[in-house]
Chain A
Amino acid sequence: MTNSLNDIRHAKSMIFIGSNATEAHPVSMQHILHAKEVNNAPLIVVDPRFTKLAAKATEYVRIRPGTDCAFMMGLINEIIANGWEDKEFIRTRVAGYEEMVEVAKHYTPEVVENITGIPAKQTRRVADILAKSRPTSLTWCMGGTQHHIGSSITRSFCILQLVLGNMGKSGGGTNIFRGHDNVQGATDMCVLADNLPGYYGLAEGSWKHWCRVWDVDYDSIASRFASKEWMESKGFSLARWYEGVLGEEKIESPSPIKAMIQWGCGSNSNSQYNRVVKALNMLDLLVVIDPFPTIVAAVTKTDNIYLLPSASQYETSGSVTSTSRQIQWRFKVVDPVYDSKDDYEIMSLLVSKLGFADEFYKNIKEVPEDITREINKGTLTIGYNGQTPERIKAHMENWHTFDIDDLQAKGGPCDGDYYGMPWPCWTTEHPGTPILYDISKPVAKGGLPFRNRFGDVTTYVMTGREEGQLAAKGVCNPGSEVQGGYSEFKEVVPGTNWKTDLSQETIKNAINRGMAPFGNARARCVVWNFPDQVPIHREPLHSPRPDLVEKYPTYEDKANHFRVETRYKSEQNPDLVKQYPYVLTTGRQVEHMGGGAETRSSKYLSELQPEMYVEINPRLANDLGIRKGDMVIVESPEGAKITVKAFITPRVDEKTIFLPFHFAGTLMGESYLKDYPEGHAPYVLGDPGNTVTNYGYDIITQIQATKDGLCKVTRA
């Protein structure tokens, strides 16, 4: 998120689209309700369901799943039509604006109503509220990303905030809520198929940078890959790894996937779960490293599964990064219990057996502090270099000195620091950057311009127009040597740029001159390397509106998408809705987390949410002859089925059904209870919601489209 959870306290209005913060991020609600009560900030909630967050809303907007982009472009269009856009912000810090406005023109409130189901009057009203109560804090979560156009949807959220001028301001920002205290950290370390830590990418320069950080020979690392070409290609994604095992889809890979290590991963959070189970049973080797055996232990029938009990967060220590980009330290309070080992020890044992412990631990003697120091050394792209273990621990020990409203320590040992030294934290004296893109403060004091990521000048393919990508004259942080836009810093140390200069002289040089190492540019509305350069609506892959499929069809099929052939056009059948008439969406419950292996093993949480269910609207239930407590079969277009209890509630409308995805352990009447290691089965089991989530993947990220599928529902 660009701002912080605490900063939401300063919002004059808030909009949540695709987020159920009350259930997914309950502790954040204290800040949201503070803004609502103390600032009288309107709280707008956009969701297909009347969620617990909608219960706190001052304006609830029911939206058809997958149509968020149309709604956003509609708001943008309405704001511009009324002249409410922040003209100065756009003139000085935004690029590609004219091209975007042309595209937005199509999305009149009436067009938006036809696509989304949101009354035109309400679109106008929401635009009015946002325009008149700035700054607005905009939040999205999986409801915005888990669509096959998720990459367009999330960009439309950003464009709205640029048009309103809400970026770089306290109370504004695009504030995605990440999970627990280290999902942001895991993301930043880029344990991903298409990136190296710190978002460096997979090009040769990136590999060489990290080899220098790790102090290993580049050629020795390169020799581990089938070829240089494969080394620099994307791997299989988490969303579709199983296709690399099953061999049923066309894959581009030197070999199929034969072995897998699931290290702290709940497999049943993958869509099309039947395929996952099939693949798990086809692997030559499967290792599950987890404090709980997880459903994997029960659904696999082969002999080659290893369960390695790992320790929980209380039995180990290390640095973690929260949703507000703050670095914190987890302290160990107890030694690993029973036979469990912490992740460092498991890694050490594995690496030793594999024979490269010497290189791996060359500079790592004190665990985990030296690992944090290695991260400090190399993760320069996002400014992870200033948060040393010593500074992080000092923050933890002096919590009470940090102000709840602006997160800055007032006096004490951490005086002037922002809590957790939110990245980028450019030097060991830098206080951290609490609000991204805030040009009201000097860079050395936590201010930041927009990054110069995409060159200095661009010619737009859409219009042929040439536009400078740097910020306008006079627009920069206070104390900036260059009064206006400037490029990213290169060649301060010959042969390097700010990201690859390990001496960090480049970064220090920039900060001393009052400038950001990554440049001062404009935020772009046009992404020239995406198929949809400006976000547009496309009907969900499995759409309930054949008429709109014709008008807003999906993309062409993609032959090699993270190594797997991925269908778009050939998958979008406008007649599918005739057999699978209801929209299927999934989400979270506050009592359970992720795949549920941990929370369903807690007796009190299991007591609160013991059963898997499907939310069905009363009208739909009556039309289908379903009564309270009936068992119901939900079936996906791929032919997968689950049997779950009907929960009749007006939360969902009569065209949509909702499934929580936290359950596992049973399937269509069959129980896997006896297949868990003895004494380790969770207290409560249920059919996995993800068994029936449909085929569908984002065109850029390949995230699974679990929020807008189709299904049929019958009484069991």
Chain B
Amino acid sequence: MARMRFLCDTERCIDCSGCVVACKEGNHVPVGINRRRVITMKQGEPGEKSLSIACMHCSDAPCIAVCPVDAIYQRDDGIVLVDKKTCIGCGYCFMACPFGAPQFPKGNVFGARGAMDKCTFCAGGPEENFGKEETQLYGQNRIAEGKVPLCASMCATKALLAGDGSVVADVYRDRVFKRGSGVNAWGWSKAYDKS
């Protein structure tokens, strides 16, 4: 069965945050909750790279392992979702997640936080597809419509890829083959003394 994956191609990401705004706008995510974020490394210097990051829908998700009430579950297609009605807002998933994907609407990690919210890969939640409850709690269900998540479909440079992991990997591999020669080769300026 196809496993859903995100991949952000740092050669293409231009740090426009279009993905961030598309997600928030399309899913009516409140200000303060960032299901997706763009981070920039070496800002303003040669080697500057940007990366759009959200829940990675891990194969062996640490958030699922630690959740005390089993509110987080993984679908057959690999998408990791939270059942907000079961979630007690303890914040343990946030501590386990290496990417900081779980977000809480109220307060910080310690304190009364409200149910955890995170990227759903635009696959909604456990409630009925396209129903009022699913839309209000989780946002859109584009996967059930056969569509790619909002963030990836919005990306103008197609830096952010989302979908069947093996297809995403093939797309990226194809790009890597086409790139990386001549002036674009890593280390070109050092190797051929272009100083």
Chain A residues within 8 Å of B, Cβ to Cβ: 22-23, 26-27, 29-30, 33, 36-38, 40, 42, 49-50, 52, 54-56, 58-60, 121, 125, 590-591, 603-605, 607-608, 649-652
Interface centre among A29, A30, A55, A60 (most CB of B within 10 A): A55
Complex Cα spacing A537 to B184, Å:
33
A22–B14 touching, CB < 8 Å = yes
A58–B31 touching, CB < 8 Å = no
A56–B183 touching, CB < 8 Å = no
A30–B17 touching, CB < 8 Å = no
Complex Cα spacing A352 to B90, Å:
65
B156–A604 touching, CB < 8 Å = no
Q: Mind listing 23 A-B residue pairs with CB under 8 Å?
A: A22-B16, A23-B16, A26-B16, A27-B156, A29-B157, A30-B157, A30-B158, A33-B11, A37-B175, A40-B183, A50-B44, A52-B15, A55-B46, A55-B48, A56-B14, A60-B46, A590-B17, A603-B31, A604-B21, A604-B24, A604-B25, A604-B31, A650-B44
B184–A33 touching, CB < 8 Å = no
In the bound complex, residues from chain A placing their C-beta under 8 Å from that of B100 are: none
In the bound complex, residues from chain B placing their C-beta under 8 Å from that of A33 are: 11-12, 157
B181 lies within 8 A of chain A by Cβ = yes
In the bound complex, residues from chain B placing their C-beta under 8 Å from that of A652 are: 44
B150 lies within 8 A of chain A by Cβ = no
B18 lies within 8 A of chain A by Cβ = yes
In the bound complex, residues from chain A placing their C-beta under 8 Å from that of B50 are: 52, 55
In the bound complex, residues from chain B placing their C-beta under 8 Å from that of A38 are: 178
Interface residues on chain B, size class? 20 to 34
B21–A40 touching, CB < 8 Å = no
Chain B residues within 8 Å of A, Cβ to Cβ: 11-12, 14-18, 20-21, 24-25, 31-32, 43-46, 48-50, 156-158, 175, 178-179, 181-184, 188, 194-195
* Known contacts A26-B16, A33-B157; A50 and B31 CB within 8 A of each other: no
**Chain A, Cβ-Cβ closest to B29:** A604
B43–A29 touching, CB < 8 Å = no
**Chain A, Cβ-Cβ closest to B44:** A651
Complex Cα spacing A651 to B14, Å:
15
B18–A36 touching, CB < 8 Å = no
Nearest Cβ distance between residue B148 and chain A, in whole angstroms? 16
Q: CB within 8 A of B31: which of A36, A125, A607, A649?
A: A607
Complex Cα spacing A50 to B17, Å:
19
**Chain A, Cβ-Cβ closest to B30:** A603
B184–A37 touching, CB < 8 Å = yes
Interface centre among A33, A38, A605 (most CB of B within 10 A): A33
Nearest Cβ distance between residue B20 and chain A, in whole angstroms? 7
Complex Cα spacing A26 to B14, Å:
8
Q: 6 closest A-B pairs (Cβ-Cβ)?
A: A651-B44, A55-B48, A40-B182, A22-B14, A58-B183, A27-B156
A608–B21 touching, CB < 8 Å = yes
B14–A40 touching, CB < 8 Å = no
Complex Cα spacing A479 to B32, Å:
64
**Chain B, Cβ-Cβ closest to A606:** B31
* Known contacts A37-B11, A52-B48, A590-B16; A605 and B156 CB within 8 A of each other: no
Complex Cα spacing A42 to B183, Å:
6
Complex Cα spacing A219 to B43, Å:
61
Apart from A38-B178, A42-B182, A607-B31, 19 more pairs, CB < 8 Å: A22-B14, A22-B15, A26-B14, A26-B16, A30-B157, A50-B45, A52-B15, A52-B50, A55-B46, A56-B11, A58-B183, A58-B184, A59-B183, A591-B17, A603-B31, A604-B20, A607-B32, A608-B17, A650-B44
